[in-house]
Structure 1
């Protein structure tokens, strides 16, 4: 049981680390001359512009920012509740509250990555008429980490739902 508990803790911490990296790092959309994330766009590795009200997709990126931050916070809260429930729950009870919060984290990261995917596709179609340095690119590793974090949070949410406290 101790090995299973250690595995679950490491899996949860890995999920949280993936969420932190995906939220903070500047590699959601990359090209040869630029890289962009949900916070800023950098051209030629020196000219970085913060995404603000003047950016044409600001409202959409705010939704992505908010859901990624909420996902990270919920993942951390789920871990704290798991640790509290580990010592407070009676033997044989399930970690339902931890599971619910972790699955909400999973939903938030899925929403963020889905919105970003949809808006990036729309931007690519719109920019085919007008040249933009950020129109030619590909999804970066932080975007991929967001989808991996989605899978990890989903799996850990299901594990918590199944897990019972035993001796």
Structure 2
């Protein structure tokens, strides 16, 4: 049976779940209570039918960069979990989880880059014709920033994690 000094594989699963939420949820930018924008869609709330009407976002190079970096963040974090599980059963006693830590750190850096690009180039991403003072960052953007230190801290924890028997 394999025992570890401490384990954080359940934390990685929670971070992956959070990244998937950020990836698909529709609240990166809120124009008003009835209009929201995410990485993929602009949505308006129709009060008569009480439903959201969504259209694809206007493509820009900055938006595509944020989309690609968020996809990479989810991929690196998922690979990190799979590599951890593989290394858990294949590493020799006393070995460290360096490759897992590297994947987790890359996930953190790509998430960080995506957040920075969205923050500094939101005018080009959202639409140059709209007044940004009428909107605010949504909860997904805030959670994306929260994922950055979580991913980096778990990456550091994996560096110090030793396999024990």
TM-score bin, normalised by smaller chain: 0.7 to 0.9
Q: Which residue of 1 aligns with 2:113?
A: 111
Moved over 6 A (4+): none
State the secondary structure of the residue aligned to 1:35: strand
Q: Which residue of 2 aligns with 1:49?
A: 55
Q: Is the 8 A contact 2:16 2:77 kept in 1?
A: yes
Deviation at 1:136, TM superposition (A): 1.2
The Cα offsets for residues 68-121 of structure 1, whole Å up to 9 and x where unpaired, read as 01100110001000000000101111000000011001010001011000012x
Q: Is the 8 A contact 1:123 1:135 kept in 2?
A: no
Deviation at 1:3, TM superposition (A): 8.0
Distance 2:112 2:85 in 1: 25
Q: Which residue of 1 aligns with 2:49?
A: none
Q: Which of 110, 130, 151 is the aligned partner of 1:153? A: 151
**Aligned residues between the structures:** 156
Q: Which residue of 1 aligns with 2:37?
A: 36
Distance 1:26 1:109 in 2: 17
Alignment of 1:4-43 (within 5 A): 4-5=6-7, 8-30=8-30, 31-43=32-44
User: Considering only aligned residues, what root-mean-square deviation do their CA atoms show, in Å?
Assistant: 2.2
Deviation at 1:134, TM superposition (A): 6.2
Deviation at 1:149, TM superposition (A): 1.3
Deviation at 1:59, TM superposition (A): 1.1
Q: Is the 8 A contact 1:35 1:42 kept in 2?
A: yes
Higher helix share: 1
Q: Where does structure 1 lack aligned partners over 5 or more consecutive residues? A: none
Q: Is the 8 A contact 1:92 1:166 kept in 2?
A: yes
Distance 2:68 2:10 in 1: 26
State the secondary structure of the residue aligned to 2:146: helix
Deviation at 1:32, TM superposition (A): 2.5
Q: Is the 8 A contact 1:32 1:137 kept in 2?
A: no
Q: Where does structure 2 lack aligned partners over 5 or more consecutive residues? A: 47-51
Q: Is the 8 A contact 2:5 2:163 kept in 1?
A: no
Deviation at 1:23, TM superposition (A): 0.8
Q: Which residue of 2 aligns with 1:82?
A: 84
The Cα offsets for residues 39-80 of structure 1, whole Å up to 9 and x where unpaired, read as 1111235442202xxx3x611110000000110011000100
